[in-house]
Amino acid sequence: MNFSKIQQKLHQLNLGKNSMSYKLVSEIESILENQPRLTLIENAEEYTIQGEYKYSLEYNCCIAQGEREIKLTVNKNFPNYIPELYIFDPPKDIEHIYPNGKVCLATIGEMICFMNENKSFIAFVERFVHAFLYTLDWFEKYKTYPFGDRKHGYRGALEYYLDDLGLTTEQYRKMAAMIYFNQYRGHQPCICGSGKRLRDCHGQYILPFINNDEYKQEFLKEASSILTEDNTHETRNSSK
Ligand SMILES: [Zn+2]
Residues 6+ apart with CB under 8 A from 237: 90, 94, 97, 98, 99
Ligand 1 centroid to residue 218 C-alpha, Å? 22
Ligand 1 centroid to residue 180 C-alpha, Å? 18
Ligand 1 centroid to residue 205 C-alpha, Å? 9
Ranked by mean pLDDT, which of 144-148, 156-160, 216-220 comes out on top? 216-220
Identify the pLDDT of residue 18.
60
Q: Which of 171, 167, 137, 132 is CA-nearest to residue 150?
A: 132
What number is the average pLDDT over the span 130-151? 88
Spans of all domains in the chain: 3-142, 154-227
Q: Which CATH number fits domain 3-142: 3.10.110, 2.30.29, 3.40.30, 2.60.460?
A: 3.10.110
Ligand 1 centroid to residue 173 C-alpha, Å? 14
The residue ranking higher by pLDDT, 16 or 70, is: 70
What number is the average pLDDT over the span 208-234? 86
The residue ranking higher by pLDDT, 7 or 70, is: 70
pLDDT higher than 60, residue 187: yes
pLDDT higher than 80, residue 232: no
In the predicted model, what is the mean pLDDT of the chain? 88
Identify the pLDDT of residue 75.
96
Ligand 1 centroid to residue 52 C-alpha, Å? 43
C-alpha 173/C-alpha 227 separation (Å) is 8
In the chain, the amino acid numbered 62 is C
What is the distance in angstroms between the CA of the first residue and the CA of the last residue of the chain? 31
Ligand 1 centroid to residue 133 C-alpha, Å? 33
